[in-house]
Amino acid sequence: MKIFLITLAYLVLAPVLGGLLAGFDRIVTARMQSRVGPPLFQPFYDVLKLMAKENLAVNHFQNFYILCFLVFMIITGALFFAGGDLLLAIFALTLAGIFLVMGAYSANSPYSIIGAERELILMMAYEPMLLIAAIGLYMATGTFIVHDMIAIHRPLIFQLPGIFLGLVYILTIKFRKSPFDLSTSHHGHQEIVKGLTTEFSGPALAMIEVAHWYENILLLGLVYLFFAWYPPAAVAAVILTYFFEIFIDNTYARTKWHYAVKWSWAVAATLGVGNVATLYFLR
């Protein structure tokens, strides 16, 4: 019964918190650029406006793939916040991303296809660090079960500082922030128009946006795990991490795809593998 209530709370609250985070992101970004910015609830207004538009699609499979993207993103978050298997949640997250790429490919637009190809490259860049983070958490706690990780009353951040920094690094990719907003972006500086989401409109684009809200809450949940021994510190770490990602987004220009892969793998190999090796030899 408790798992059911937690899952239900995630289904209802995650898009609300995700939308508020998106509004907070826009306001902070505007302040950093000496602008007033939109109201906090603007992301919700945008999604409601998209939902009211006509449902146009290039083919029958396009919106089906996006529906699968949203469903698997919800399943991923439900697995995580219900205290399930972290490794299974990461695999489900990858599957959700693949459905988004397939939807972009099915549109048969040059901009959409380039965006899909870049998204696959970015997945190749961040997946190693995600898997290393799961392995590191397992070595520090002895379990892949999220509920058991949270129940361990010791600061995991002291055992996993390298893995945490590596995770923060690849979160820049997952949050689609500069310098790694290569496949699509919330900003207007893309040379491939909207890239991955170019051929989506109306309700399909709204589903993509809501799915990203679910995803962002899940990713911040990973940050929470490192500080779960003391909830106030964990909440503060989540807020500071997201603010840091906004700061990076407004500080660095977009890089090239091969740098994204090279640097992400270098971070995974040094900070991630180095931290795992340290844990192994200190046992």
Long-range CB pairs of 269-273, under 8 A, 24+ apart, other chains included: 270/162, 271/162, 271/163, 271/165, 271/166, 271/169, 272/128, 272/129, 272/132, 272/133, 272/136, 272/162, 272/163, 272/166, 273/132
CA distances 19 to 65, 125, 183, 217, Å, are 22, 27, 21, 10
- Report d(CA 50, CA 268) in Å as an integer: 38
Q: Which residue has the higher pLDDT, 131 or 252?
A: 131
Under the banding of pLDDT at 50, 70 and 90, the label for residue 252 is confident
Quote the pLDDT of residue 189: 53
Where exactly are the structural domains of the chain? 2-281
- Report d(CA 181, CA 168) in Å as an integer: 15
CA dihedral in degrees (111, 112, 116, 117; nearest 10)? Answer: -30
CA distances 210 to 16, 57, 113, 236, Å, are 9, 18, 22, 24
Quote the pLDDT of residue 186: 67
Contact 207, 70 (CB under 8 A): yes
Q: What is the average per-residue pLDDT within 199-212?
A: 90
pLDDT digits 0-9 by tens, 5-38: 878 888 899 999 999 999 999 999 889 888 888 8
Q: What is the average per-residue pLDDT within 254-273?
A: 90
Phi and psi at residue 71, in whole multiples of 5°? Answer: -60, -45
Q: Which residue has the higher pLDDT, 64 or 54?
A: 64
Q: What is the average per-residue pLDDT within 179-199?
A: 71
How many residues are recorded in the chain?
Answer: 283
pLDDT at 201 over 60: yes
Under the banding of pLDDT at 50, 70 and 90, the label for residue 257 is confident
Quote the pLDDT of residue 192: 55
Under the banding of pLDDT at 50, 70 and 90, the label for residue 153 is confident
Quote the pLDDT of residue 254: 78
Q: What is the average per-residue pLDDT within 129-151?
A: 92
Residue listed under structure tokens 């070595």: 139
Under the banding of pLDDT at 50, 70 and 90, the label for residue 74 is very high
Under the banding of pLDDT at 50, 70 and 90, the label for residue 128 is very high
CA distances 81 to 3, 13, 76, 85, 208, Å, are 9, 12, 9, 10, 21
Q: What is the average per-residue pLDDT within 66-77?
A: 93
Confirm whether pTM is higher than 0.85: yes
Name 145's bridge partners.
85
